Amino acid sequence: MDSSFNKLLTFKKWVIILMIFLLSTHSLCIQRVDALSDSKQLVLDAWTLVNEGFYDPDKFDEIQWKRIRQQTLQKQIETSEEVYSAIEDMLRPLDDPYTRILRPKDYELLKASNFGSEINGVGLQLGKDEINNKVKVISTLAGSPAEDAGIISGDFINKVDGISSEELGLANTASKLRGETGTKVLVEVTSTSGEIKEIDLERRSVDLRPVRTKRLRDDSHTIGYLRITQFSESVPKKIEEALQELKEKEVEGIILDLRNNSGGLVSSGIAVADSFLSERPVVETKDRNGIKDAIFSQKATSFDGPMVTLVNQATASASEILAGSLQDNGRSSLMGKQTYGKGLIQSLKNLGEESGIAITVASYLTPKGNNIQGKGITPDKLLDIPEALEYGNAEDKWVKNAEIYLESLLEENEVSKTNNDLLQEDLGS
């Protein structure tokens, strides 16, 4: 019996040893897989960020989002380029051009444009056309190679260095247009008139100069001209400084020029509204849970005099938030053309040490509840006359129209003030 018992103990001992061995081997296999899965972990991180933040979670069921994750992670993904391509393929079914992977160069350039004062490239700000899904020029930066070459808002980018923009997608098209100063890029463009042309552009450093001002004077009035080209982090402070400077020059009214302003930091656009609105609704955002959050301006304003705002088809995103808040609150009339119609808000997230991912996290409504996505904002006064090649110069007929309109407001205010003074005198007597 002792022999049988010993044999049983020996058998159990070997079973335990074998189980420990198998578990250890399994553990080593897992560790080895994990060690080889750093690239796939980056893909999974991107999926998780989108899964937790994307503004339309109903889309996930429609496209079988979890299945896409599984299929993507089954691919061979080892190099950085394979990571970025896999994430692009994964995001494509969302059908949202604004939710996109940002390769290191693009991520750095986007941060530079949001926080810096210059950028290297050709000076094009791009978007996706809502109708045909083509890459479309939202605006050209002032003084850029693209502007010098005559590329304008509404043109389509067909190819970059011989590669179709449809094949590249929005993010990669923008990426290929950027690069070191002095290098060249060949761009095929379809103009708004339907003409197809190839343009050889030389990249250079483009001064963003987000805030520009000057004083306009005639025989009876002094008017301030204030142009915002983009909403970067520094803009709210620069606007405060510009308005202070214009007040010192005793301007009576302001022309705010938001033409070709394709947006930037939404927080910056909302902060600028504080300079003109006192305790008024600026925008209403709606998150993925349908929760609406109304944002109000602060009590103090930097300028409360008459103003008119110029917009065009390249006025987009954060600049539409500002324009919509001024219009809906009756603070400023809008003049120009229908705006671009981007009613979605993106959040920028780090992905790894050098890359990033932009995710559409919310939609927004103007203070009166208007959803402008794909529709834009209709100005109070439409202008059919051609725009100047250089905004704000002496030949800019849009500014001249705004100046005439603003002068009429100032004269109405003077008449109203005179009538009130006479009424007070009559009451006093």
360 lies in some domain: yes
So what's the pLDDT on residue 23?
Answer: 46
Residue partners of 261: CB distance under 8 A and separation at least 6: 139, 228, 229, 230, 231, 314, 315, 316, 318, 319
269, 360: one domain: yes
Same structural domain for residues 157 and 220?
A: no
Transcribe 47-113 into DSSP letters.
Answer: HHHHHHH-S-THHHHHHTHHHHHHHHHTS---SHHHHHHHHHHHHGGG--TTSEEE-HHHHHHHHHH
Separation between Cα atoms, residue 149 and residue 300, nearest integer Å: 43
Q: CA nearest 263: which of 338, 339, 359?
A: 339
State the pLDDT at residue 281. Answer: 97
The answer on 169 and 294 residing in a single domain is: no
- Residues 259, 138, single domain; the answer is no
In a domain, 319, yes or no: yes
Task: Classify residue 107: in a domain, yes or no.
Answer: no
Distance between CA atoms of residues 374 and 344, nearest Å: 10
- The verdict on residue 111 lying in a domain is no
Q: Which range of residues forms the domain containing residue 385?
A: 211-412
pLDDT of residue 167: 86
What spatial distance separates the first Cα and last Cα of the chain, rounded to whole Å?
A: 129
Kindly list the averaged pLDDT for each block of 10 residues, start to end, along the chain of length 429.
Answer: 51 50 42 56 96 96 96 92 95 93 85 65 80 82 86 91 87 82 92 92 82 87 93 93 94 95 91 97 93 93 96 92 98 96 93 90 95 95 88 91 93 70 59
Query: Is 421 a member of any domain?
Result: no
Residue 384 located in a structural domain: yes
In this structure, the answer to whether residues 11 and 82 fall within a common structural domain is no
Q: Which of 17, 67, 70, 63 is nearest to 43 (CA)?
A: 70
Give me Rg for the CA atoms of the chain.
Answer: 28
**Is the residue at 424 inside a domain?**
no
Specify whether 180 is located in the same domain as 288: no
Residues known to be catalytic = 317, 328, 342
Overall number of domains in the chain: 4
Domain match, 270 and 368 both: yes
pLDDT of residue 32: 35
Specify the CATH number for the domain of residue 164.
Answer: 2.30.42.10
Does residue 382 sit in the same domain as residue 394? yes
User: Any residues with CB less than 8 A from the CB of 123 and at least 6 apart, and which?
Assistant: 140, 141, 143, 144, 145, 146, 147, 206
3-state secondary structure of 223: strand
Kindly state whether residue 48 falls inside one of the protein's structural domains: yes
Q: Is 238 in the same domain as 200?
A: no
User: Can you tell me the distance from the alpha carbon of 170 to that of 347, in angstroms, rounded to the nearest whole number?
Assistant: 17
The answer to whether residues 164 and 146 belong to one domain is yes
| Burial class of residue 294 in the structure, from the number of CB atoms within 10 Å of its CB (0-12 exposed, 13-18 middle, 19+ buried) | exposed
| Orientation angle between helical segments 80-91 and 38-53, nearest 10 degrees | 30
354 and 305 both lie in a single domain:
yes
